[in-house]
Amino acid sequence: MKKIYVGAAYYPEVWEPSEVDKDIERMQRAGVNCVRVGEFAWADMEPEEGVFTLGWLKDVVDKLYAAGIDVIMCTPSCTPPRWLFDKYPETRIVYGSKEQTEIFSRCHPCKSSPVMREKNRIITQKLGEAFGRHSAVIGWQIDNEVFPYGEGCYCPNCRAGFHAYLKEKYGTVGALNKAWGMARWSLTYRSFEEIVPPVHGRWEHPSLMTEWIRFHNKNIISYVNEQADILHRCSDAPVGTDMMATGLLPYYDTNEKLDVVQYNHYEPAAELPRTAFAYDFLRTVKDKPFWVTETQVGWNGSTFAEFGYRPEGACYANTWLPVAKGGEMVEYWLFRAHPNGHEIAHGALYNASGRAYRVTQEVVKAAKEFERCREFLVNSSVEAKIALHYSATTVLETQSAPLLKNFDYRRTLIDAFHTPLRRHNVDVIDTAHSLDGFDVLISPFLYTADEHGLPARVRAWVEQGGTWIVGPMTDIMTDCASKYKEAPHSFLEELAGVYELYDLPVGNDVYRAQWADGGEFGLSVCYAAYELRGAEALAVYANGEFKGLPAVTCNRVGKGRVIVLGSVPSPEALLRLIGKEAVADASDNVALVARSGAENGIIAVETEGKEGILTLHGMYTELLGKRACTGTVALKPYEVLVLKK
């Protein structure tokens, strides 16, 4: 039977072999059944060019396997050794200032460098040959937190690659000039070679910034896929790459040729309720269980601790929540704190002298409970009838041209749309995802909606009975951060049966709306008012310059409906529009997940460190406390209930 993995990143290259033996004993006591190794150890794997010394790593993996601990083997391409950078300086990234990086920490390699690519392929091949069939290795991690860091790389290879990317996409420089509107300010390019990459700190063109990051994203994905191709030939274990919380590097594209979605996050305890959004998204990228490959145990840190210490119970709830939401692994960073270096102050399961922290016991507790509930967890899954769009294109565009001052796209989706649905199962999806199986689709701030065939797909889905709740500020941009010129939207007005009269991209929180059948609700962030052209008004503005004009409209399309939001509605108004029954009744501090399959039930997690209430309709068996539960049930701070129907 499958199991739930609990573990940590481990760096045996830092420790003497005798200390590794002691650490393995500590892992067993802590309930650790899986560790990640190798991600920063290239210098120990290949101390000289062409001289490979993997015996020390095999000894460690053999010992872990003998102790019943599985391994995720990592490729070390994030941290090439000094000899490589010194012999092949073209492998180092170049900043916008045209200064080539010195070797001072990590993430120095240029992902366009042919030499760097070749050296990555060689070390990956060696690891694949050595560990591809090792019984301990249950998965692979490529590189570490691949991402378009900072400004990107401005070396000649990257500049030439950027020009080639633009030429492939736009065909002619004239087509690019037209798409970007470069006649304004006489910025018209005469050739692709004239296009200078954007530099942070300058007032750059949004289309240029958007495409520059998009080029780097495509380069990163190619970089990852090269290694994945080698590992797939050497091993049957799933291959992934551990990704950061931001969606700036598109998850769907990055994971298309990979096998498992891996995710790193370091939110402080106060942000625990919001992490549920990420898990509802990760679950959909491959439609299979995801891995949390890094999260903090007690505190984050570099040369000083930060992000706050987790209060008692928070680490335990942080371990349970991703598993409740459909994950099958939680790995902490890190197992044993480094005795020196850049991250000397970072928290861990054990300190540098090998002594456990208080929070270590919370990991032990969760690991034991996962084993106790294993049958329920592996024989059930999370199924949702509600989907919420979270677009990688919009993440990129709102960085280049947010339109709203201080706008945080991800945070707005979480607080205004996902959080009100904390008592529902929700799939957070990108625009390429199928709409099959959903009853309700919510698409706020989807700046570019005309991609991946979404207009035709969403129309067909609505005609078959789906409810599309769309807006505000959806379908307002091309994929290169330009507004439409013929109308405010590319297709939304026709499908929704409305004509947009006014839009106000200013959030003042004074406007309110009134339902057609009476009663008011609050609006926020931005405002648009409509003329009805086939739709009906569900709510109108109750005050302000748009008073009496439609704020929320509904158009019947086939068997379904298109509901347009002119503003961000209150949580109560959003729930009214969705009209779906919750998993159960609970206080706002309790996250609920319905699990279904061969096993059925509910997992409840208190996420805010205070007492909570859950009201059940029917009889359940609580698997952790071995008790019958029905009616109103109290939850202690950070308590978890696993309720089998």
* pLDDT level of residue 463 (50, 70, 90 thresholds): very high
The reported pTM is 0.97
Tokens (6 digits) for 459: 């129309």
Average pLDDT of the segment spanning 570-587: 97
Residue after which a domain boundary falls, among 379, 412, 434: 379
pLDDT tens column, 529-541: 999 999 999 999 9
Tokens (6 digits) for 526: 């931005």
Task: Report helix, strand or coil for 339.
Answer: coil
**Cα separation, 298 vs 349, whole angstroms:** 8
- Mean pLDDT rounded to a whole number for the chain: 96
**Total length of the chain:** 645
Whether residue 589 lies inside any domain: the answer is: yes
Number of domains in the chain: 3
* pLDDT level of residue 510 (50, 70, 90 thresholds): confident
> Which of 315, 293, 301 lies closest to 352, judged by CA?
301
Neighbouring CB atoms inside 10 A of 139's CB total 24
332 and 351, same domain (yes or no):
yes
Query: Domain with 556 in it: what CATH number?
Result: 3.40.50.880
Whether residue 199 lies inside any domain: the answer is: no
**Cα separation, 339 vs 351, whole angstroms:** 8
Query: Is it true that the peptide bond before 488 is cis, omega within 30 degrees of 0?
Result: no
DSSP secondary structure string for all residues of 564-577: EESSEEPHHHHHHH
**Cα separation, 244 vs 342, whole angstroms:** 19
239 and 122, same domain (yes or no):
yes
**Cα separation, 301 vs 298, whole angstroms:** 10
Task: Report helix, strand or coil for 219.
Answer: helix
Degrees, nearest 5: CA angle 492-495-500:
50
258 and 114, same domain (yes or no):
yes
Residue after which a domain boundary falls, among 379, 410, 438: 379
Average pLDDT of the segment spanning 158-174: 98
How many Å from the N-terminal Cα to the C-terminal Cα in the chain? Answer: 21
544 and 635, same domain (yes or no):
no
Query: Domain with 364 in it: what CATH number?
Result: 3.20.20.80
Going 42 to 48 to 50 to 56, the CA torsion angle's sign is negative
> Which of 362, 269, 381, 425 lies closest to 640, judged by CA?
362
DSSP secondary structure string for all residues of 63-89: HHHHTT-EEEEE--TTS--HHHHHH-G
229 and 125, same domain (yes or no):
yes
568 and 625, same domain (yes or no):
no
393 and 516, same domain (yes or no):
yes
The reported pLDDT for the residue numbered 188 is 98
* pLDDT level of residue 209 (50, 70, 90 thresholds): very high
Distances (CA, A) of 511 to 295, 514, 525, 544, 566: 40, 10, 10, 6, 11
391 and 428, same domain (yes or no):
yes
- Domain residues for the domain of 427 are 386-578
* pLDDT level of residue 155 (50, 70, 90 thresholds): very high
Whether residue 306 lies inside any domain: the answer is: yes
Average pLDDT of the segment spanning 174-188: 97
Distances (CA, A) of 158 to 93, 95, 248: 9, 11, 19
The reported pLDDT for the residue numbered 571 is 98
pLDDT tens column, 369-379: 999 999 999 99
**Three-state SS letters, 235-271:** CCCCEECEECCCCCCCHHHHHCCCCCCEEECCCCHHH
Going 320 to 323 to 329 to 334, the CA torsion angle's sign is negative
Whether residue 487 lies inside any domain: the answer is: yes
Phi, psi for 369 (deg, rounded to 5) = -70, -35
Average pLDDT of the segment spanning 254-279: 97
**Cα separation, 623 vs 364, whole angstroms:** 17
Q: Is 575 exposed, middle or buried (0-12, 13-18, 19+ CB in 10 A)?
A: middle
Contacts of 132 (CB under 8 A, 6+ apart): 231, 234, 235, 237
The reported pLDDT for the residue numbered 257 is 98
432 and 317, same domain (yes or no):
no
* pLDDT level of residue 26 (50, 70, 90 thresholds): very high
Whether 591 has a pLDDT exceeding 90, the answer reads yes
pLDDT tens column, 130-147: 999 999 999 999 999 999
Whether residue 211 lies inside any domain: the answer is: no
pLDDT tens column, 405-430: 999 999 999 999 999 999 999 999 99
> Which of 315, 371, 64 lies closest to 307, judged by CA?
315
570 and 589, same domain (yes or no):
no
243 and 95, same domain (yes or no):
yes
Whether residue 251 lies inside any domain: the answer is: yes
The reported pLDDT for the residue numbered 507 is 80
Whether residue 538 lies inside any domain: the answer is: yes
Residue after which a domain boundary falls, among 351, 379, 407: 379
**Cα separation, 41 vs 71, whole angstroms:** 15
Phi, psi for 254 (deg, rounded to 5) = -65, -35
Whether residue 435 lies inside any domain: the answer is: yes
* pLDDT level of residue 149 (50, 70, 90 thresholds): confident
The reported pLDDT for the residue numbered 1 is 59
Tokens (6 digits) for 337: 């704190």
Is residue 579 left, alpha or beta, with left meaning phi > 0 and alpha meaning psi from -120 to 50? left
Distances (CA, A) of 550 to 492, 505, 542: 16, 17, 10
Q: What is the DSSP letter of 450?
A: S
Neighbouring CB atoms inside 10 A of 358's CB total 11
The reported pLDDT for the residue numbered 606 is 98
Whether 193 has a pLDDT exceeding 70, the answer reads yes
Helices 206-234, 392-400: crossing angle, 10 deg rounding: 140
Whether 118 has a pLDDT exceeding 90, the answer reads yes
**Three-state SS letters, 104-138:** CCCCCECCCCHHHHHHHHHHHHHHHHHHCCCCCEE
Give Cα 505 to chain centroid, integer Å. Answer: 27
- Mean pLDDT check: name the lowest of 146-155, 407-416, 460-469: 146-155
**Cα separation, 398 vs 186, whole angstroms:** 25
Whether 508 has a pLDDT exceeding 80, the answer reads no
303 and 401, same domain (yes or no):
no
**Cα separation, 300 vs 499, whole angstroms:** 50
> Which of 452, 475, 478, 454 lies closest to 466, judged by CA?
454
Whether 336 has a pLDDT exceeding 80, the answer reads yes
Average pLDDT of the segment spanning 579-590: 96
Going 148 to 150 to 151 to 157, the CA torsion angle's sign is negative
Whether 308 has a pLDDT exceeding 90, the answer reads no
Query: Domain with 600 in it: what CATH number?
Result: 2.60.40.1180
Q: Are 12 and 335 in contact (CB under 8 A)?
A: no
Q: Provide long-range contacts, Cβ within 8 A and 24+ apart, for 12-20.
A: 12/37, 12/56, 12/57, 12/60, 13/40, 13/41, 13/44, 13/56, 14/338, 14/339, 15/336, 17/59, 19/354, 20/60, 20/63
